[in-house]
């Protein structure tokens, strides 16, 4: 029986489901995971280089839900997808220190839910109206919505949500 993942599912349980990947390294061939929390520090320590050098040589900044966030560069420069710079013939070269998103996400039967959980818990900023509007577009374009991840659950004040979506509240 498939386990139900909600916005409030505990990280420990999410990591257990993330370990259930049966298509090892497939994600690494098509993209890289966003860094959050101590990921930058942990990768820097693992590679034995300072964080500034790590950023310049191996990482790129992306904007997701109005948040500037780092991720490992892709080997391809002309496409929005491709192999992660840390992927080689042996798999993930930083596996012991890989970003939390890489530990969480996978191509298992839970892949879409795990990705939605990560977005809700680490990327979306419910206190940033633009982040909420971009999340609304994600939903409108067919993005996965978990229990606890509906717009009305994130911003329960209907009037405030209407003002955010109508650009009456900008900041």
Could you tell me how far CA 128 lies from the centroid of its own chain? 17
Contact yes or no for 102/95 (Cβ under 8 A): no
The span from the CA of 102 to the CA of 153, in Å, is 27
Of 152, 170, 128, the closest CA to residue 7 belongs to 152
* Residue 22: predicted pLDDT: 60
Among the ranges given (15-19, 81-85, 118-122), the one the predictor scored with the smallest mean pLDDT: 15-19
* Residue 20: predicted pLDDT: 65
The mean pLDDT of the chain is 91
Confidence tier at 76 by pLDDT (50, 70, 90): confident
Q: What is the mean pLDDT of the segment spanning 48-57?
A: 97
Bridge partners (DSSP) of residue 59 are 72
Residue 19 has pLDDT above 90, yes or no: no
Output phi, psi for 71, to 5 deg. -150, 155
Where exactly are the structural domains of the chain?
11-124
Contact yes or no for 35/59 (Cβ under 8 A): yes
SS3 for 11? helix
Q: What is the mean pLDDT of the segment spanning 51-63?
A: 96
Residue 130 has pLDDT above 60, yes or no: yes
The span from the CA of 15 to the CA of 11, in Å, is 6
* Residue 25: predicted pLDDT: 66
Confidence tier at 90 by pLDDT (50, 70, 90): confident
User: Could you give the percent of the chain with pLDDT greater than 70?
Assistant: 95
Do the strands 59-64 and 91-92 form a parallel or antiparallel pair, or are they unpaired? Answer: unpaired
Confidence tier at 105 by pLDDT (50, 70, 90): confident
Q: What is the mean pLDDT of the segment spanning 6-14?
A: 95
Of 27, 17, 52, 6, the closest CA to residue 102 belongs to 27
User: Could you give the percent of the chain with pLDDT greater than 90?
Assistant: 73
Confidence tier at 144 by pLDDT (50, 70, 90): very high
* Residue 132: predicted pLDDT: 98
| pTM above threshold 0.85 | yes
């Amino acid at each position: 029986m498939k386990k139900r993942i909600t916005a409030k599912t505990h990280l420990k349980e999410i990591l257990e489901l993330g370990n259930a990947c049966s298509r090892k390294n497939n994600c690494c061939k098509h993209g890289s995971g966003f860094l959050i929390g101590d990921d930058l520090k942990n990768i820097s320590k693992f590679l034995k280089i300072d964080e500034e050098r790590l950023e310049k040589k191996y990482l790129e900044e992306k904007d997701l839900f109005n948040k500037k966030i780092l991720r490992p560069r892709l080997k391809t420069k002309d496409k929005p997808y491709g192999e992660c710079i840390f992927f080689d013939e042996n798999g993930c070269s930083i596996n012991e220190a890989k970003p939390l998103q890489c530990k969480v996400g996978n191509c298992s039967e839970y892949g879409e839910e795990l990705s939605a959980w990560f977005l809700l818990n680490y990327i979306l900023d419910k206190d940033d109206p633009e982040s909420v509007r971009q999340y609304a577009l994600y939903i409108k374009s067919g993005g996965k919505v978990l229990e606890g991840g509906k717009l009305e659950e994130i911003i329960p004040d209907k009037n405030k949500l209407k003002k955010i979506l109508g650009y009456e509240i900008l900041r």
